[in-house]
């Protein structure tokens, strides 16, 4: 009996390790497994956390040992909440502070609005069945030329030189600028869809998203840049947590459901639909509709 138990223990451990290795290979696992990654002295400090006497004012923050620092953006940090800790971080020459606060949040009340399906895409970042269309800023694509130039200039500078340091900074700023555009769009888009400002009978009761295999899609060489530029995974993460906060259910529809190929009016499924076909034409009932709008209707119906 004892030996069997031991064997089972071993097996569980082994399978756990195999799972970790698999996850690591996919790039999803960020744990302790593998070779150590040493910190580079050439890069920024990353971040550090401070605890103790932290006071937030309307235009500044008082941190232990650092004193009172002016804030570039006003009104973002809560001045009345109880602050537990502050994290200072640096990104491409800009310094940020985020605070962890403790506050009591009332339980979310279930929203009672309509069911909304959201189709994620490249042409339009998101198309919702309630008519909301969010344009894709294509942050990376529109800056690719600049990025290539900055990157080239950087690589041509002699290693260890002042010029190289300068070029590094310039390149980092450009990368951060692109990331900021993406971040800004995603936050605005997900907040608009979740509609925090509207009353609970207007807010959607259920938001339906497609359960996309983003990691798999990124392996498609001709589409990976465009897909990575949108930030599908981050969109999904934001919708999930923002919806949960205010009592909206989030449902996922299997990626194998033919949400694009089905006619939202008569439910006939088309055999083939090319990615370039932006307008959906139903061969059964003759419906002519925007491809993404059609998909969003189908997603809402599948809930
Ligand atoms: Zn039809």
- Map out the domains of the chain with their CATH numbers: 47-102 (no CATH), 115-302 (3.30.420)
Catalytic residue among 103, 107, 119, 301: 119
C-alpha 236/C-alpha 220 separation (Å) is 20
284 C-alpha to ligand 1 centroid (Å): 5
The CA 283 to ligand 1 mean position distance, Å, reads 7
Give the Å distance between the CA of 258 and the centre of ligand 1: 14
86: its two tokens: 């502050």
Give residue 281 CA to ligand 1 midpoint distance, Å. Answer: 8
Ligand 1 centroid distance, CA of 289 (Å)? 10
Three-state SS string over 242-259 comes to HHHHCCCEEEEECCCCCC
CA 202 / ligand 1 centre spacing (Å):
29
Give pLDDT, residue 106. Answer: 83
Which tokens belong to 152? 């080239």
- Cα of 277 from ligand 1 centre, angstroms: 16
* DSSP symbol at 189: H
Residue 3's pLDDT is 47
Q: Catalytic: 292?
A: yes
* Residue 288 CA, ligand 1 centroid: distance in Å: 9
Q: pLDDT per residue over 99-151, tens digit each?
A: 999 988 888 888 888 899 999 988 899 999 988 899 999 989 899 999 999 99
Q: Which of 210, 272, 274, 277 is catalytic?
A: 210
CA of residue 206 to ligand 1 center, whole Å = 25
Q: What is the pLDDT along the chain (303 residues), one digit of tens a residue?
A: 444 445 555 555 556 666 666 665 665 566 667 777 777 777 777 788 999 999 999 899 999 989 999 999 888 888 888 999 999 998 888 899 999 999 888 888 888 888 999 999 888 999 999 888 999 999 898 999 999 999 999 999 999 999 999 999 999 999 999 999 999 999 999 999 887 667 777 888 899 998 888 888 888 888 888 888 888 889 999 999 999 988 899 999 988 888 888 998 888 888 888 888 888 888 888 888 999 999 999 999 887
Q: What is the pLDDT of residue 26?
A: 60
Of 9, 229, 292, 301, the catalytic one is 292
- Predicted confidence at residue 18, as pLDDT, reads 66
Residue among 237, 243, 252, 238 at smallest CA distance from 200 = 243
Distance between CA atoms of 278 and 212, rounded to whole angstroms? 20
pLDDT score at 1: 44
| Element containing residue 89 per DSSP (H, E) | strand 82-91
Q: Is 184 a catalytic residue?
A: no
Q: What is the pLDDT at residue 5?
A: 47
For tokens 């900074």, name the residue. Answer: 169
């Amino acid at each position: 009996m004892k030996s069997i138990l031991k064997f089972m223990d071993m097996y569980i451990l082994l399978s756990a390790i195999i799972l970790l290795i698999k996850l690591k290979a996919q790039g999803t696992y960020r744990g302790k497994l593998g070779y150590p990654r040493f910190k580079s002295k050439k890069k920024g400090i990353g971040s550090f956390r401070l605890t103790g006497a932290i006071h937030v004012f309307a235009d500044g923050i008082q941190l232990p040992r650092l004193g009172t620092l002016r804030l570039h953006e006003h009104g973002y940090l809560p001045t009345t909440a109880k602050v537990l800790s502050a994290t200072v971080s640096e990104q491409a020459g800009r310094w940020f502070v985020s605070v962890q606060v403790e506050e009591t949040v009332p339980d979310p009340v279930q929203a009672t609005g309509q069911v909304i399906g959201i189709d994620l895409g490249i042409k339009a970042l998101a198309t919702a069945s309630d008519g909301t269309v969010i344009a894709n800023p294509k942050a990376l694509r529109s800056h690719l030329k600049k990025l290539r130039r900055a990157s080239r200039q950087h690589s041509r500078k002699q290693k260890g030189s002042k010029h190289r340091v300068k070029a590094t900074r310039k390149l980092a700023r450009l990368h951060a600028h692109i990331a900021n555009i993406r971040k800004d769009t995603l936050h605005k888009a997900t907040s608009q869809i979740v509609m925090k400002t509207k009353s609970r009978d207007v807010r959607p009761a259920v938001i339906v998203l497609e359960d996309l295999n983003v990691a798999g899609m990124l392996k498609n060489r001709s589409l990976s840049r465009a897909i990575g530029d949108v930030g599908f995974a981050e969109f999904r993460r934001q919708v999930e947590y923002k919806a949960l906060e205010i009592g909206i259910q989030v449902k996922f529809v299997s990626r194998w459901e033919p949400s694009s190929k089905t006619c939202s009016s008569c439910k006939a499924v088309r055999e083939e639909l090319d990615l370039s076909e932006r307008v959906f034409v139903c061969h059964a009932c003759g419906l002519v509709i925007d491809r993404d709008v059609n998909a969003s209707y189908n997603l809402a119906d599948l809930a």
